[in-house]
């Protein structure tokens, strides 16, 4: 074995140990205090939005979800025209709903070098009705989709608005901490 091969092997082992430790550390910290986030974020902790659904009921739901997040102070959604808004909040048509499958909500985004450029969040009225969601359940789904719009990922804990099947839980301190951490962490780095 040559000297350089030795060196490479040691570095490899070090890297493996390093990753292992940071994964364990990360998992413990996340469960305790912070909803996880992905590598993508907006450049600042604010973005513009427009509500484009024609349903007066779902306009209200989206407005309430925006208000609930704005109240936390960690991110600000600012109203803009539907042409210029970075985030569009809408409902799926019956036709689009077929593509959503079993999802009551869906968020899609376009990012450039991990900076979010355009986000679209949809609620699926057909399913929300058929599952018998209440008004507050609908609101929690909208809050969950806005969480994705800011860069949050699913929280394995049920006591988070970002639990993947969340229905009854509103924005929690762990979720507020997640957004705070997302915007204190550079784009490209996930938690
Ligand atoms: Zn989700």
Q: Distance, CA 179 to ligand 1 centroid (Å)?
A: 15
Give the tens place of pLDDT for each residue, 68-80.
999 999 999 999 9
The pLDDT-based confidence of 16 (bands split at 50, 70, 90) is very low
Give the tens place of pLDDT for each residue, 134-160.
999 999 999 999 999 999 999 999 999
Beta bridge mates, 79: 49
Q: Distance, CA 122 to ligand 1 centroid (Å)?
A: 11
Q: Distance, CA 144 to ligand 1 centroid (Å)?
A: 6
Whether 170 and 161 have beta carbons less than 8 Å apart is answered as yes
Residue 51 has pLDDT above 60, yes or no: yes
Token match 């109240």: residue?
71
Whether 50 and 85 have beta carbons less than 8 Å apart is answered as yes
Residue 92 is encoded by which pair of tokens?
């799926």
CATH number of the structural domain 34-184:
3.40.390.10
What's the confidence (pLDDT) of residue 138?
A: 98
Q: Distance, CA 105 to ligand 1 centroid (Å)?
A: 7
Q: Distance, CA 148 to ligand 1 centroid (Å)?
A: 7
| Percentage, residues of the chain above pLDDT 90 | 77
Give me the DSSP letters along 84-120.
T-SEEEEE--HHHHHHHTT-SEEEEEEEETTEEEEEE
For helices 56-72 and 135-150, angle between their N-to-C axes, nearest 10 degrees = 60
The pLDDT-based confidence of 100 (bands split at 50, 70, 90) is confident
What's the confidence (pLDDT) of residue 181?
A: 97
What's the confidence (pLDDT) of residue 15?
A: 45
Q: What is the dihedral of CA 79, 110, 149, 105, to 10 degrees?
A: 110
Q: Distance, CA 178 to ligand 1 centroid (Å)?
A: 14
């Amino acid at each position: 074995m040559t000297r350089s091969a030795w060196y490479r092997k040691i570095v490899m082992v070090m890297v493996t140990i390093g990753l292992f430790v940071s994964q364990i550390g990360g998992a413990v910290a996340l469960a305790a205090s912070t909803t996880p986030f992905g590598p993508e974020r907006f450049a600042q902790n604010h973005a513009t939005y427009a509500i484009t659904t024609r349903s007066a009921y779902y306009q209200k739901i989206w407005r309430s979800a925006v208000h609930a997040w704005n109240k936390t102070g960690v991110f600000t959604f600012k109203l803009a025209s539907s042409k210029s808004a970075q985030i569009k909040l809408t409902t799926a048509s019956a036709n689009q709903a077929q593509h959503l499958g079993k999802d009551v909500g869906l968020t899609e985004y376009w990012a450039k070098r991990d900076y979010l450029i355009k986000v679209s969040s949809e609620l699926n009225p057909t399913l929300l009705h058929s599952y018998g969601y209440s008004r507050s359940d609908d609101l929690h789904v909208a809050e969950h989709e806005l969480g994705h719009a800011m860069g949050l990922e699913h929280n394995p804990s049920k006591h988070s608005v970002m639990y993947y099947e969340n229905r009854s839980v509103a924005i929690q301190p762990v979720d507020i901490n997640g957004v705070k951490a997302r915007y204190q962490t550079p784009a490209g780095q996930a938690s």
